[in-house]
């Protein structure tokens, strides 16, 4: 983390605007910390203000603050950033304090919060505090509740964090462009009682998507549905860190969705309860066990489970094309097509031509095809048994017995006890039973031929002309 202590010094300093700042005092602006590291940072343990149990932002960090006469002060800087989506690819995005998404803001129920927002973008912006109860003039909707923050100016938002829960922040100014470029962040208001809904590990991250052409680095902002990169906190697998927990831990994962579609998020090996939404904590009597929860656009879901079973458990969006990195949507399906008669002829004209897709797409992950600069393969993740054949919204929950409380370091791949891994059958495999009386068709499980079924349909009266 790098301090911006000299951020406002010198002839090129950013001017401070909006009358609100003068009332607080421009000289009292808090520092704007900067983060460039894309790995998951340790939880930010509070050293002032009310106590709370901090969260861990997946591939991100929490924004430090200062206490000023009982007010918790933060400084966000909206600016162009370069975000590494995964090793081998960087994106030119817009974000806050050096990253997209911006840093997580953590406060406590009842805190008076003051957020300075400096705009270093080439156009005006604002911040909407998604889901918060606050004065109307602090809601951050450009033109409706405030003027836009001009480029080079600083505005101040101030309100009391009235209710505990999990929220988000994002612009309500040229929203199509600014959110497509990555401007968003997480906000957690912890309960006043630190022991309320206490868990051992508390992870947060946002779902986001981009449309970045292979070989380029800047998202296309006019895309409505046809995105090619789906991400957890602006990281795609294999660049997403695992969520490391200790066996027996109570684990919470808070997921916010600021993409353009819903995402059914699925956890392997455990079932969970939905204990929170962006509207607050769910009543215990309303909960039921799930292994997949659909997170719609603009929603947040907090899921909780007890990490009972050791292993490396997949955690991902269950839309299969959301667990792939950039690919061409116009590539034809070639499954079952015999290329042998044409490959030799094509190779005479195009020596580097390769057969792709006639047996499915899994072999694409093994091909060492030349890619444009700054482009990821569709499936680049490697596991202990070979290619994981995943990208995009995919990571692993690593449950370990020996993991110490508060230790989030990656323990490496799980070492399976003998006899607990699927293995190849070496014995004989009998041919399926066929019944001559059924015309050679396969019989049903009780060794009887499938019999035809005769249906008679009667058209109801009164539907003439349909």
Kindly report, residue by residue over 370-406, the tens digit of the pLDDT: 778 888 877 678 899 999 988 999 999 999 999 999 9
Q: How many Å apart are CA 199 and CA 169, to the nearest integer?
A: 24
Kindly report, residue by residue over 237-295, the tens digit of the pLDDT: 999 999 999 999 999 999 999 999 999 999 999 999 999 998 999 999 999 999 999 99
Q: What is the average pLDDT score of the chain? A: 86
Residues 58/201, Cβ–Cβ less than 8 Å = no
Block residue for tokens 């421009």: 26
Kindly report, residue by residue over 418-441, the tens digit of the pLDDT: 999 999 999 998 887 777 666 656
Q: Is the pLDDT of residue 450 over 90?
A: no
Q: How many Å apart are CA 62 and CA 42, to the nearest integer?
A: 9
Residues 309/291, Cβ–Cβ less than 8 Å = no
Which of the two residues, 121 and 213, has the higher pLDDT score? 121
Percent of the residues in the chain that have a pLDDT greater than 70, as a whole number: 78
- pLDDT value of position 226: 83
Residues 412/333, Cβ–Cβ less than 8 Å = no
Kindly report, residue by residue over 308-328, the tens digit of the pLDDT: 999 999 999 999 888 888 765
Q: Sign of the CA dihedral 99, 101, 107, 112?
A: positive
231 CB burial (10 A radius; 0-12, 13-18, 19+): buried
- pLDDT value of position 30: 93
CA angle centred on 400, ends 396 and 401, rounded to 5°: 165
Q: Is the pLDDT of residue 20 over 70?
A: no
With H, G, I as helix, E, B as strand and everything else as coil, classify residue 363. helix
- pLDDT value of position 18: 35
Q: Is the pLDDT of residue 4 over 50?
A: no
- pLDDT value of position 219: 93
97 CB burial (10 A radius; 0-12, 13-18, 19+): buried
Residues 264/216, Cβ–Cβ less than 8 Å = no
- pLDDT value of position 153: 98
- Supply the DSSP symbol for 278: T
Which of the two residues, 11 and 448, has the higher pLDDT score? 448
Peptide bond connecting 101 to the previous residue in cis, omega within 30 degrees of 0: yes
Q: Are strands 229-232 and 128-130 parallel, antiparallel or unpaired?
A: unpaired
- pLDDT value of position 15: 34
49 CB burial (10 A radius; 0-12, 13-18, 19+): middle
Kindly report, residue by residue over 36-83, the tens digit of the pLDDT: 999 999 999 999 899 999 999 999 999 999 999 999 999 999 999 999
């Amino acid at each position: 983390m790098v301090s911006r202590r000299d951020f406002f010094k010198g002839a090129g300093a950013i001017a401070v605007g909006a009358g609100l700042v003068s009332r607080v005092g421009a000289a009292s602006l808090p520092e704007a910390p900067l983060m460039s590291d894309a790995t998951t940072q340790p939880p930010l343990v509070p050293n002032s203000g009310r106590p709370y149990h901090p969260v861990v932002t997946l591939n991100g960090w929490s924004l430090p603050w200062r206490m000023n006469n009982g007010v918790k002060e933060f400084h966000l800087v909206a600016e162009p950033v370069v975000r590494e989506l995964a090793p081998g690819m960087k994106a030119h995005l817009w974000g806050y304090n050096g990253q997209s998404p911006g840093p997580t803001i953590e406060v406590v129920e009842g805190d008076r919060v003051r957020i300075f927002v400096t705009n270093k973008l080439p156009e005006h912006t604002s911040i909407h505090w998604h889901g918060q109860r606050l004065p109307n003039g602090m809601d951050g909707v450009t033109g409706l509740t405030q003027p836009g923050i001009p480029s080079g100016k600083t505005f101040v938002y101030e309100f009391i964090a009235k209710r505990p829960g999990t929220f988000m922040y994002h612009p309500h100014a040229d929203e199509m462009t600014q959110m497509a470029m990555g401007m968003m962040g997480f906000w957690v208001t912890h309960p006043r009682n630190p022991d309320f809904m206490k868990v051992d590990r508390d992870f947060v991250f946002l779902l986001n998507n981009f449309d970045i052409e292979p070989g380029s680095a800047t998202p296309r902002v006019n895309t409505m549905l046809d995105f090619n990169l789906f991400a957890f906190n602006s990281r795609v697998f294999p660049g997403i860190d695992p969520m490391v927990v200790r066996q027996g831990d109570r684990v919470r994962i808070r997921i916010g969705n600021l993409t353009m579609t819903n995402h059914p998020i699925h956890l392997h090996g455990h079932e969970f309860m939905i204990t929170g939404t962006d509207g607050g904590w769910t009543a215990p009597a309303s909960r039921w066990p799930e292994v997949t929860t659909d997170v719609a656009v603009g929603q947040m879901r907090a899921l909780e489970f007890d990490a009972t079973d050791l292993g490396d458990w997949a955690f991902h969006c269950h839309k299969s094309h959301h667990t792939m990195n950039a690919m061409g949507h116009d590539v034809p399906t070639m499954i079952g097509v015999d290329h042998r008669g044409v490959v030799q002829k094509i190779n005479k004209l195009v020596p580097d031509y390769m057969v792709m897709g006639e047996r499915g797409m899994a072999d694409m992950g093994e091909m060492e095809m030349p890619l444009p600069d700054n482009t990821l393969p569709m499936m680049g993740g490697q596991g202990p048994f070979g290619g994981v054949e995943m990208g995009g919204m995919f990571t692993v929950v690593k449950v370990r017995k020996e993991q110490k409380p508060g230790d989030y370091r990656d323990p490496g791949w799980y070492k399976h006890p003998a006899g607990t891994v699927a293995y190849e059958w070496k014995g004989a495999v009998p041919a399926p039973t066929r019944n001559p009386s059924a015309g050679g068709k396969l019989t049903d499980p009780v060794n009887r031929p499938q019999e035809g079924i005769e249906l008679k349909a009667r058209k109801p009266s009164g539907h003439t002309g349909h």
